[in-house]
Structure formats: C-alpha cells, structure tokens
Structure 1
Amino acid sequence: MNTALRRAMAEKDVRSGQLARRLGVSRETVERWITDADRVPHARTRADVSEYLGVPEEMLWPKAVKTAVKTGPDREIVSVYPYRSACPKAVWAELVERAKEQILFAGYTNYFIFLEQPHFHLTLQRKLEQGVRVRFLLGDPESPTTRAREAIEDTPLSVSTRIRIALDNLGRVPAREGLEVRYSAPEDATNHVGLSVFRFDHDALVCPHLARLVGHDSPMMHLRKRDEQGMFDRFAEHAEELWDRAVPA
C-alpha cells in the first residue's frame, strides 16, 4: 500500500476518479498506484501528481526518485518551503509514520503539531508502543528568553501559552512511559528559539526563525541523510547538543 499517496489524496480530498481525470488515465490505474507501492507512474506523471497534491515527489515515490539525486552536498536537500506552513500536513504525517527508531521535536514550542495532526497524542502513544524513541525539547515557559521572544512577536497567542498547549497535549498521551520531555538549558535558550529541528530517523525538517516572524512564517528545509557530516548531520548534532544539556520539564 502506498500510504503516502493515499494520505496526500485524503488531505486534499481528492478521489481516485478525480485524480485520474486530471492526469488523463483510468481510475483503475490510480487505484493500482495506491494499493501497490511497487507500481510507479512515469516521471512526468509523478511530477504532475506531486504538483497537484502539493507533496514532494520524494515523499510519494521515494524508491523511484532515489537514483535522481544531486551530486554535491545539496543532495541531502529533499525540499525547501518559503514558509513552514507551506509544507503539506501529509509530509509531517508520513515522516512520523515512517520513523522506526526515533522522533525528536526540537522546536521552541512544538504546539502546532497537535493542532495540525488529528489525535496526535494517540499517534505518539502508538509510536512508543512500536519501540520508537520519542523526545520533545521545549523552551522553558518561564525563562527570560521566552519573555523576550513574546515581546518581539507581540501576538495574542504568546510563546509561553503555546509551550503550555504542547505540554497539555503531551500530558494526554495515555501511557507516557518512554516519552521524554525537556526544557532547553538557560544558556542554550537563545540558540534554541532561533532554530527548530524536527527529526524522524534519517529525515529532518529544519526551520530557522526570522526576525519577528512566528514559526509558521519562517522558511523550512526537508533534509535526508546521505553523507557523513553532511547537512543532515550538522543540524542533528546541533539538536543533540541542546538535548544533552537540557533539563527535565
């Protein structure tokens, strides 16, 4: 089953017949793409589906595009988004679903994921039951850095409120054994608030925050590890360093 394609179609409320008419193929062909992950359309058709659904081709048919990689350090860059909010929800859902070893949300508030992904606390429970290490690195809602950032953003939904929304949702995970939640150390808070790293095994979504913009208005990159000490490793090491010095929430 091509769950990524099925999820992307569901998010856009696109049915098999509708996609088939858009592409000029039969509905049965589209349904075979969904039910058989090894059945892959031609490159031009893949590009059309990706554009129509708003999901990177690499997420829908990773094996088909694996050989069409770049040759330099930038080959670890899967996609770029001018705004975090421009990244389809299906991408986040698929990265979480594929994770077999670890999930790390190292945004300063991380609250948005609970709003955008239905019943995400139950998804986290399922990943924990599968043996996946699940970690959340948050900013301390009472820290001076949080207060300073609130003054900069000057939004009704304050930074500390967004952190508490995340904490409240994490508290709803039915069996929280294995769920790790920490606040970044005071000396790291400035570095943490300026850069969010969300890791899913060997994929990462990296979001540098710009000036007065809130997280969903900042740009984001989707990275996939291909080399040692490449782009992925650099950002992963940054997040791990913050985690190692962080304190229990």
Structure 2
Amino acid sequence: MPNDRLRDAILRNGLTPVAVAEKIGVDAKTVERWITQDRTPYPRHRHAIAAMVREDVPYLWPDAVTPEKASRIGQSELVRLYSRRSAVPYDLWRRLIERAEKRIDVLAYAGLFLVEQDPMLIDVLRQKAVDGVEVTILLGDPTSATIHRRSVEEGTPGVMAAKIRQVQQYYNRLDSAPKAKVRYHDTTLYNSIYRFDDEMLVNMHVLGFPAPHAPVMHLRKLNGGDLFRTYSDSFDRVLVSATPQPGDGVAA
C-alpha cells in the first residue's frame, strides 16, 4: 500500500522524490520505495523529511513511533510547570503571542485576564490576523448550563457569564479581521488551552478553585511526542462543535 500522506506532503511543498533524495543524501529510488511501498525510513531521514514538508512524523508514518516512545518524547515536551497561572510571567505570554507566525488558539470560558493584563492585545491579534496568522478564540457560551455550573462550583454564581460578556466587548473588535474568528462552546473544560504555533500553555481546572490558582503547563511540541498533540486534538474537538453566536445551536 502506498504512503499517500507522504506523497501528498511532498507534492504540496513543490518537491519531487528526486529533490527530497538530494536534500537528505539518499538514492531517488529509495524515496520512491518509501512512497510506493510504504517503506519506513531510518529515524534521521524521517525527521529530515518531516521538517522539510512541515508535517509530524506520526502523521507521515503512524506506525513508526511506538506509544511508549511517544510517551517518553512527550515528557520532554514539558518546558516548565507553574503551580498557578498567576505565577506565569507576563513576558512569557507576550513573547508567545508576538512570535506566533501561523496560529494563535485560545480555548477558555472567558480568559478575561488576557485582555486585562495587556490592553493592546486585541490590536496585536488583529494585526496578526492581517499578517496571515490564524487567530481562533473559543469562549464559553454565557447562556449555557455549563457556565452556570462552573460559576456555582467556584462559589460565585453568575460571575462567569458576566466575565464572558465583558470579554466579548473586546473580541467583537476582531469581527472584520481576516483570519480571525470567535466561537462559543458549551463544553465542560478540564483545561484552558492557549496555543501559539508549536508552544502551548495549558491551564488545568481544579474543582473549587478559580483558574488563576490552578497549575499551568508550558509545552513545546516535539516531533513524535504525544503530550502536545493530546491538547491540540482537544482544542480541535471543541472547535468542531463551537458556534458563531452564543446560544446558536448550543444546548443551554
């Protein structure tokens, strides 16, 4: 069976098997066999090709990385663990946002702290979107039972919905920005996820504690790792069911 993912990735990047072979120092027929016979290259060649076509090794060769190895690599994806979100330096948030070139993803209930700690954030996000960065903001639906329950769990009924409506006033300014979208979800979040290209801050949710007092993981994606990918997949699952307007097809 041919490796259609590898073939597509090579062609999509304007390359040929001959060009790939020349870049990594192997015979062109070897690259052809990797494609047509789904042969698995040596690890050094897998990583070189993955970088060349800007794809993950597990995507191109799903069976090449065992779950055990993916788990070991995933441990190295953890850059730092902060005991609470309030301990994450503001400079780190700013650096991650400013350096993002492909995507900025936010999955939270409100995430009001982002715009409160940086009044210029919306202008920065708008300019990023103009420059071609995909900016996706997923906020909780303030009309949903999920948001009401979260407020009750934190001992502040109604406050979460109020925070979301407050932050809406900021993100409404992204409405006309290309590459930017704001969506609403009624998902029960076990983590808030903030992704900036290949780096991510994951704010864990702890029952009875507001998000600023819960731990944060700083992750950096490594080829073949499974930790970063787990949270990326979680973001994508919420995005699929999110809607453009609060209460628009979201269960209340």
Q: Same fold (TM over 0.5)?
A: yes
Alignment of 1:1-249 (within 5 A): 72-155=73-156, 158-173=159-174, 175-184=176-185, 186=186, 189-190=187-188, 192=189, 194-249=190-245
Distance 1:150 1:81 in 2: 24
Secondary structure class of the residue paired with 1:248: coil
Distance 1:85 1:103 in 2: 21
Contact 1:122/1:174 (<8 A) preserved: no
TM-score under structure 1 length normalisation: 0.66
Post-superposition shift, 1:166? 1.6
- Count of residue pairs the alignment pairs up: 174
Cα gap change, 1:157 to 1:82, in 2 (>3 Å) = farther
Which amino acid is the alignment partner of residue 104 of structure 1? D
Report the aligned-residue RMSD.
Answer: 1.7
Which amino acid is the alignment partner of residue 169 of structure 1? Y
Distance 2:224 2:120 in 1: 36
Post-superposition shift, 1:109? 1.0
Q: CA deviation digits over 1:24-47, x for unaligned, max 9?
A: xxxxxxxxxxxxxxxxxxxxxxxx
Q: CA deviation digits over 1:85-139, x for unaligned, max 9?
A: 1000100000001100000000111211000113111111111121100010111
Q: Which has the larger radius of gyration?
A: 2
Contact 1:125/1:174 (<8 A) preserved: no
Secondary structure class of the residue paired with 2:79: strand
Q: CA deviation digits over 1:142-176, x for unaligned, max 9?
A: 10111111111123881111111221101234843
Secondary structure class of the residue paired with 1:171: helix
Q: CA deviation digits over 1:198-233, x for unaligned, max 9?
A: 100000101111011111111000000013352111
Gaps of at least 5 residues in structure 1 are 1-70
Matching residue of 1:11: none
Secondary structure class of the residue paired with 1:235: helix
- Percentage of identical aligned residues: 32
Matching residue of 1:27: none
